[in-house]
Amino acid sequence: MIKLVLSDIDGTITDSRRVLSSSASEQIRKAQDAGVIVSLVSGNVIPVMYTFRTYLGMKAPLFAENGGAMIDDNITQFFSMDRPRAFFRDLEKSRLAKGIMTNQWRLCSMGFEPVGPVEQEILQLTARYNVEITNSGFSWHILNVGQNKGFALHYLMERYDLRPDEVLVIGDNFNDIPMFIEGVRKAVPANAEEELKKRADYIARSGYGDGSAEILSSLESF
């Protein structure tokens, strides 16, 4: 029986334009009302997760910055800003990248846009700074080593004392792969990257939020 659902936000409970899906929101509420713990993890920032918690009435802790920070009744920061900031400043100085608007609210990661086709160059620099970069499909993020959605998943499994088969993860893009771990149930909306579809136990008929609503409305089948 699924006791915990951990879902991505962008492209998973939104539509293709990034607008929150009403069908997915409704199914999140229904799952919560049925006693399932529903949590979200995103590359986005704590103020955004605060909004989800408050205005969608979510009860479980939610994770920002790919798992690096958590909001429940308080805010917990699991990783430091030192390395992501140092790496970002050097990218900026070398004119390889520019920052994104949400950086002003970040606690332990930096978002960036490469300036030109320099992804490989940036990727090669990460080892020197001991950071990792990931792409959500919406923006690039600089993270500490070990700061990923799998970190959030392990935290929740420990906090609620859950076995992998009691957990369902939902995601659509490469930065969701760290939570697609052995033993947990994995579902994807139809718009998901091939790499995720290959790892999924279930691929929804619909894409985006409608696909996730379909998944959330049939939790008993997992």
Q: 82 catalytic, yes or no?
A: no
Q: Of these residues, 8, 172, 176, 210, which one is catalytic?
A: 8
Choose between 44 and 173: whose C-beta lies nearer to Ca ion: 173
Kindly state the smallest distance separating residue 202's Cβ from Ca ion, in Å.
17
Choose between 10 and 132: whose C-beta lies nearer to Ca ion: 10
Kindly state the smallest distance separating residue 43's Cβ from Ca ion, in Å.
8
Q: How many residues does the chain have?
A: 222
**Residues near 6 by Cβ (< 8 Å), separated by ≥ 6?**
39, 40, 41, 149, 152, 153, 156, 167, 168, 169, 170, 179
Choose between 166 and 172: whose C-beta lies nearer to Ca ion: 172
Can you give the binding site for Ca ion, defined by CB under 5 A? 8, 10-11, 172-173
Contact 90, 122 (CB under 8 A): no
Residue nearest to Ca ion (CB): 11
CA dihedral 57, 59, 60, 64 (to 10 degrees): 40
* Catalytic machinery residues: 8
